[in-house]
Amino acid sequence: MSCPGVVNVTIQTMPTLISHPTRIQAAGTKPKVIEEFIGRVNSHTPELSVARMRSPEGWQEPGQTPDFEEYTVVLRGTLRVEHRDGQIDVAAGQAVIAHRGEWVRYSSPLPDGAEYIAICMPAFSPDTVHRDER
């Protein structure tokens, strides 16, 4: 059925290729590599961020109480996640979810460090991570 005076419009969209990540400066005690593929910096996407992290043995960042959910999949090594009631060691092939408003501190204390993918919803922002004061 057609309606007089109404024009049907089809919007064509296509996938967006992210050809390379943007390197982001990391917080913490040793240099950690953050490569943001999707997020506020690389793709101007405020709804979600996807980043690959590589942290060396002995790296630790300040604690944080973020205003976002963070989903982390460990690809190599072990990522330690401290929380108010203890700590969880997340090994390669495992994942962990840090919930919005929950205090956590990430580190890679074991030999070989850790490589992992972090997905934040909404996207990571220095304004919403709420790092502990030093």
Question: Hey, what domains does the chain have and what are their CATH numbers?
Answer: 33-129 (2.60.120.10)
pLDDT > 70? residue 71: yes
Percentage of residues in the chain having pLDDT higher than 90: 84
pTM: 0.88
Q: Are 98 and 69 in contact (CB under 8 A)?
A: yes
CA distance 25 to 33: 7
Q: What does the pLDDT read at residue 119?
A: 98
Over residues 11-62, the pLDDT tens digits come to 778 999 999 999 998 988 899 999 999 999 999 999 999 999 999 999 999 9
User: Residue 51: CB partners within 8 Å, gap ≥ 6?
Assistant: 21, 24, 34, 35, 36, 37, 39, 117, 118, 124
